[in-house]
């Protein structure tokens, strides 16, 4: 076993550089021309990003220890599972604006680039806040429990015209009445104007920001190590594009997934409330092992998917009679 290395700024630089290379290859080589991403292609890319995440996880074990390797895997699974809800919202946004399938990948690509920047800033802010005020983790815990219960009881609605950022963008820039290929900005009536594709990009960015408010605090229940939080977030976000094209056409098959996701949020929130953060302790505290957390999160997601598929299968079987 190799000695445990110390994480420095150069590890962040190297990791970000590798991510930029992969993103450059993605947009500049594999998706240089706009085209509809088919299921098989999306499934292949999903496997590629998942494999890279698992290789990174395995590399962490000899370099940083088994605990951080498990923390990364748990954080990655939490972020990836919560991203599934984001996938369905993005599908509703594309449907609302009638975005052709061949232009959707470009929106998701730049949306994810923006998401990486925003999440990096939010993680840095969260780590700094926790370092100054440790009890803020309890606030995160209560917030996650509340969010999980709300997700279970409230239906998701997409109303772009009520989005304050979209309304502000419409006031600042005129919007072209129709698409101009895969351009986000064009010229209309002698002025620079946003295209509907540009509005969709703004909507996707703000949607991810809202989801990050839920998902990033959830990872703090697993670890407060910034490198683990950042890398698990990045790998989950990188896989979001291909995951969208895998799942978007099968949204109806995952009707109960939101219940699994809501239970994940509630569990993570409770874990954050029970885990020891203070010395001396403020109330009853329970140290839930990372391996248990990983198993519980995976089981909740898997059971909700199986429940959804069984319900769909029973409906089809009943209608076929």
* Residue 184 belongs to some domain of the structure: no
> 71: exposed, middle or buried (C-beta count within 10 Å: 0-12, 13-18, 19+)?
buried
Strand runs labelled E in 144-241: 185-188, 191-194
Distance CA 83, CA 244 (A): 9
Task: Give the pLDDT score at 160.
Answer: 67
d(CA 319, CA 26): 43
pLDDT-above-70 percentage for the chain: 88
Residues with Cβ within 8 Å of 73's Cβ and at least 6 positions away in sequence, in order, are 57, 294
How confident is the model over 274-305, as pLDDT tens digits?
875 554 444 556 677 888 888 888 899 889 88
Q: And the tokens for 156? A: 């998701």
pLDDT at res. 317: 72
Helix%, strand%, coil% for the chain, nearest 5: 75, 5, 20
Residue 170 belongs to a domain? no
- Residue 281 contacts by C-beta under 8 Å, 6 or more apart in sequence? none
By the 10 Å C-beta count (0-12 exposed, 13-18 middle, 19+ buried), 3 is classed as exposed
When the pLDDT of each residue in the chain is averaged and rounded to a whole number, the result is 82
Q: What is the CA radius of gyration of the chain?
A: 21
pLDDT band at 152 (very low <50, low <70, confident <90, very high): confident
Residue 212 · residue 206 · CB < 8 Å: no
Tell me the two tokens of residue 26: 């993605």
Counting the structural domains of the chain, the total is 1
In a domain, 202, yes or no: no
Q: Is 285 helix (H, G, I), strand (E, B) or coil?
A: coil
Q: How far is CA 31 from CA 91, 99, 204, 235, in A?
A: 20, 17, 20, 19
User: Checking phi first, is residue 30 left (phi over 0); if not, alpha (psi -120 to 50) or beta?
Assistant: alpha
* Any domain includes 275: yes
CB atoms under 10 Å from CB of 310, counted, come to 11
- Is residue 259 in some structural domain? yes
Q: Is 188 domain-assigned? A: no
What was the pLDDT predicted at 279? 47
The predicted model gives 236-241 an average pLDDT of 85
pLDDT tens for each residue of 20-47 = 888 877 766 666 676 677 778 888 888 9
**Whole-number percent of the chain with pLDDT over 90:** 13
Q: Where are the alpha helices (DSSP H) in 154-195?
A: 164-172
Does residue 114 form part of some domain?
yes
> Is there a domain that residue 292 lies in?
yes
**pLDDT for the residue 249:** 63
pLDDT-derived band at 15, boundaries 50, 70, 90:
very high
* pTM, rounded to two decimals: 0.83
* Residue at token pair 């390797």: 69
Close Cβ partners of 131 (under 8 Å, ≥ 6 residues apart): none
- pLDDT band at residue 70 under the 50/70/90 scheme: very high
Number of Cβ within a 10 Å radius of residue 278: 12
Q: What gap in Å lies between CA 152 and CA 146, rounded to an integer? A: 10
Which range marks the domain in which residue 65 is found? Answer: 9-152+213-312
The pLDDT of residue 187 is above 70: yes
Beta-strand (E) ranges in the chain?
A: 185-188, 191-194
Q: Tell me the per-residue pLDDT of 218-232, one tens digit each, with 9 for 90 and over.
A: 888 888 899 999 999
Instruction: Provide DSSP, 124-145.
Output: HHHHHHHHH-TTHHHHHHHHHH
């Amino acid at each position: 076993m190799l000695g445990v290395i110390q994480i420095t700024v150069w590890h962040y630089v190297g990791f970000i550089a590798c991510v930029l290379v992969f993103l450059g290859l993605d947009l500049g080589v594999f998706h240089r021309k706009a085209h509809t991403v088919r299921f098989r292609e999306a499934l292949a890319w999903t496997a590629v990003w998942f494999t890279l995440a698992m290789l990174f996880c395995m590399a962490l074990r000899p370099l940083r220890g088994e605990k951080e390797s498990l923390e990364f895997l748990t954080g990655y699974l939490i972020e990836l599972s919560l991203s599934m809800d984001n996938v369905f919202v993005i599908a509703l946004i594309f449907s609302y604006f009638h975005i052709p399938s061949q232009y959707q990948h470009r929106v998701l690509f730049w949306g994810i680039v923006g998401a990486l920047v925003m999440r990096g800033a939010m993680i840095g802010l969260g780590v700094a806040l926790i370092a100054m005020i440790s009890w803020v983790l309890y606030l995160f815990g209560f917030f996650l429990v509340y969010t999980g219960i709300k997700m279970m009881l409230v239906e998701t609605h997409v109303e772009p015209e009520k989005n304050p950022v979209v309304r502000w963008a419409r006031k600042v820039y005129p919007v072209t009445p129709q698409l101009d290929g895969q351009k986000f900005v064009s010229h209309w009536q002698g002025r620079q104007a946003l295209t509907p594709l540009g509005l969709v990009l703004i909507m996707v960015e703000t949607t991810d920001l809202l989801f990050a408010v839920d998902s990033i605090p959830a990872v703090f229940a697993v670890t407060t190590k910034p490198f683990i939080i950042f890398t698990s977030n990045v790998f989950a976000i990188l896989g979001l594009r291909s995951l969208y094209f895998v799942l978007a056409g099968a949204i109806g098959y995952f009707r109960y997934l939101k219940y699994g996701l809501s239970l994940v949020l509630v569990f993570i929130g409770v874990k954050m409330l029970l885990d020891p953060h203070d010395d001396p302790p403020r109330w009853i505290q329970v140290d839930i092992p990372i391996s248990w957390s990983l198993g519980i999160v995976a089981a909740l997601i898997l059971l909700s998917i199986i429940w959804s598929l069984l319900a769909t299968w029973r409906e089809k079987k009943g209608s076929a009679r």
